[in-house]
Chains A and B, each alone.
Chain A
Amino acid sequence: MGVLFFCAHIPFVIFRDSIKFPVTVDDGNIFGSYHVFFMITTLLMLTGLVLFAFSKERIEDEQIAQLRMDSLQWAVYLSYILLIVCLAVFSKKQDIKDVMHMGIWVPLLIFIVLFRWKMFRNSRYTKEDAI
């Protein structure tokens, strides 16, 4: 479901011009094209990522909860380090806006990668000494 949402936002970004979504400056109108485009892309992407990141495993036990906490902790650390480095390197106004925009989804993405990696490593160890 989450992956579906995430994938659904991609064509909107790619075909931004051909489906007549002139992305202009925000004019404050809630039904303006800028706002509709923003709703479709960013919200689809975010809901997709959130659903994918926080959906329950088939057997959700305390060890998985532990792995989740670990990954979440490291995701926050890493994303803030990244944010600080990016802000230090790029200091032009437009760049800072892009960096902040990136900050919307980077923590979630790092969390997903870390958590999946830990789960994968866990199951690989288990296979190695299966009885």
Chain B
Amino acid sequence: MKNNIRIERAFKNITQAQLAELINVSRQTINTIESNRYVPSTILALKIARVFGKPLEEIFILEEGD
């Protein structure tokens, strides 16, 4: 699974720490999601999508082989 969190963050001009605070997780979690080392739960993914105001599919993209 790929994700565009880094790009969306740049659009909104917020840091990892700020995003983490908005959805009540640690900065490590945001970092590991961005670098594809951790797959978030559906709830967390929906929260992230809500922060960016976009549908889920524009932020998280299924890859071949998933």
Contact = CB atoms under 8 A, between A and B. Distances in A.
B31 A125 contact: yes
B40 A126 contact: no
Contacts of A122: 28, 32
B16 interface: yes
Interface string B37-57: 110110010000000000000
A59 B26 contact: yes
Q: Report which residue of B15, B28, B32, B38 has the largest number of chain A beta carbons within 10 angstroms of its beta carbon.
A: B28
Main secondary structure of the interface of A (DSSP, over half): helix
Interface string B12-27: 0001100000001111
Contact of A62 (B27, B29, B37): B29
Q: How large is the interface on A (under 10, 10 to 19, 20 to 34, 35 or more residues)?
A: 10 to 19
Main secondary structure of the interface of B (DSSP, over half): loop
B23 to A, nearest CB: 9
Interface in A85-131: 122-123, 125-126, 129-131
Given A61-B29, A62-B29, A131-B16, A125 B37 contact: yes
Q: Report which residue of B31, B35, B40, B44 has the largest number of chain A beta carbons within 10 angstroms of its beta carbon.
A: B31
Contacts of B37: 125
A131 B7 CA distance: 13
Q: Report which residue of A59, A63, A64, A123 has the largest number of chain B beta carbons within 10 angstroms of its beta carbon.
A: A63
